[in-house]
Copies of this chain bind each other. A is one copy, B any other.
Amino acid sequence: MRKIIATASALGLLTTGAMAEDALSVQVKHAGAQASTVGSAEYFTGAVRIDSPFKGTGSARVGGATVTFEPGARTAWHTHPLGQTLIVTAGAGQVQHWNGPVQTIRPGDMVWIPPGVKHWHGASGRTGMSHIAIAESLDGKAVEWLEKVSDDQYRQQP
């Protein structure tokens, strides 16, 4: 059997088979398998780390990652075409929609940002915050980035 696979592989016959197998297999990415990346200064203020990104396949629209904000760090204002779920896993942070109250979020808190709602999220001024962020893509796009959250806007904390 091994010989057949090796031969087929050498002949380039396994591409379709491997793709088909992916669509039929549970895929496990162990902790540590994906390197951390840094949140772009174009879309974030302060130090932001992105870990364990995930994305559905086939007809799925879901994707996300764990995002860690150092104290004072936050996203720019943005919207999601199909909304976003945040699950806070560490620290204490903030979330606010445009003209809305700044709300404090802590581990175990769940946040739903409805489609199209302009908002930001991030750490508090004194403590960092980590959350899992989950959003669906529409036409391949899960977020629309807007202007930065100014220091004055950010200072309006509870």
Chain A interface (Cβ within 8 Å of chain B)?
A: 22-32, 52, 54, 56-62, 64, 82-83, 85, 87, 89, 95-97, 100, 103, 105-115, 117, 119, 132, 134, 136
Query: Which B-chain residue is minimally distant from A23 (CB atoms)?
Result: B114
Contact of A112 among B27, B61, B96 (CB under 8 A): B27
Chain B residues near A82 (CB-CB < 8 A): 56, 58-62
State the number of copies, please. 2
Docked-complex contact B25 and A110, CB < 8 angstroms: no
Docked-complex contact B115 and A28, CB < 8 angstroms: no
Chain B residues near A52 (CB-CB < 8 A): 87, 108, 110
Chain B residues near A110 (CB-CB < 8 A): 28-29, 52, 54
- Say how far A139's CB is from chain B's closest CB, in angstroms: 12
Docked-complex contact B56 and A96, CB < 8 angstroms: no
Chain B residues near A100 (CB-CB < 8 A): 25-26
A-B CB proximity, top 10 nearest: A31-B108, A27-B112, A26-B97, A60-B83, A29-B110, A58-B115, A60-B82, A54-B110, A56-B83, A30-B109
The winner among A25, A117, A119 for most chain B CB atoms within 10 A is A25
